């Protein structure tokens, strides 16, 4: 027993599906009348779910009409049927990207959070380290990312240098020494 169609859910509407020519088999481009079930907008364009007429064999050896559903690119492989209203076809649209904030336009993209340590190789004496932002070109790519508290512990060590290329020195020094010590060390306090 078949279930009656739900009037709230629109059924498929007719559409022409364009089959490309096949020069190997000597087949020209063809149009086949099909049923349009759904439309979907993708990042590269539209695709339509169409039902193409087909046939299938049954267990008792008879052949019956069937439908083969496939997603096809539109408008390359789909054309409308004159006089058909396509406004009721279920349509999945991409969400519009949020407009960029004024802050992001001015400041640019945020740098990844955290800090990484680069261990310098020395022959004698205590090991030297350099503290970098994770996206610094000089930072090691396989180093674990430290949070601010751990980065401050590492930065307090006299064997640690803060990278000036990525801004680690400009960002961590005020936290370590206060904002009065952000200038050159030879400057008097408060200048």
Task: Give 10-residue mean pLDDT values along the chain (191 residues).
Answer: 51 92 91 95 93 91 92 93 93 82 69 83 72 88 87 88 84 73 42 38
Task: Identify the pLDDT of residue 6.
Answer: 52
Residues near 90 by beta carbon (within 8 Å), at least 6 away in sequence:
10, 37, 38, 39
Task: Identify the pLDDT of residue 187.
Answer: 40
Task: Identify the pLDDT of residue 169.
Answer: 81
The CA distance from 35 to 14, in Å, is 5
Sheet hosting strand 116-120, strand order edge to edge: 116-120, 128-132, 160-162
The CA distance from 169 to 182, in Å, is 9
CB 176 within 8 A of CB 154: no
The CA distance from 81 to 86, in Å, is 10
The CA distance from 35 to 17, in Å, is 9
Burial class (CB in 10 A: 0-12, 13-18, 19+), 130: buried
The CA distance from 138 to 118, in Å, is 8
The CA distance from 88 to 32, in Å, is 22
Task: Identify the pLDDT of residue 52.
Answer: 95
């Amino acid at each position: 027993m078949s279930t009656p169609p739900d009037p709230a859910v629109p059924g498929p509407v007719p559409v022409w599906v364009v089959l490309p020519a096949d020069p190997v088999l000597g087949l020209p481009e063809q149009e086949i009348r099909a049923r349009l079930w759904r439309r979907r907008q993708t990042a590269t364009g539209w695709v339509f779910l169409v039902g193409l007429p087909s046939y299938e064999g049954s267990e008792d050896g008879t052949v019956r009409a069937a439908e083969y559903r496939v997603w096809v690119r539109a408008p390359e492989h789909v054309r409308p049927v004159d006089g058909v209203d396509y406004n009721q076809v279920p349509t999945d649209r991409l969400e519009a990207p949020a407009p960029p904030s004024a802050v992001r336009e001015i400041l640019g993209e945020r740098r990844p959070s955290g800090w990484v340590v680069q261990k310098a190789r020395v022959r004698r004496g205590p090991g030297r380290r350099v503290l970098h932002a994770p996206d610094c070109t000089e930072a090691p790519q396989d180093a674990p990312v430290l949070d601010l508290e751990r980065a401050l512990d590492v930065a307090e060590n006299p064997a640690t240098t803060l990278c000036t290329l990525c801004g680690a020195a400009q960002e961590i020094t005020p936290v370590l020494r206060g904002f009065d010590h952000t200038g050159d060390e030879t400057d008097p306090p408060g200048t």
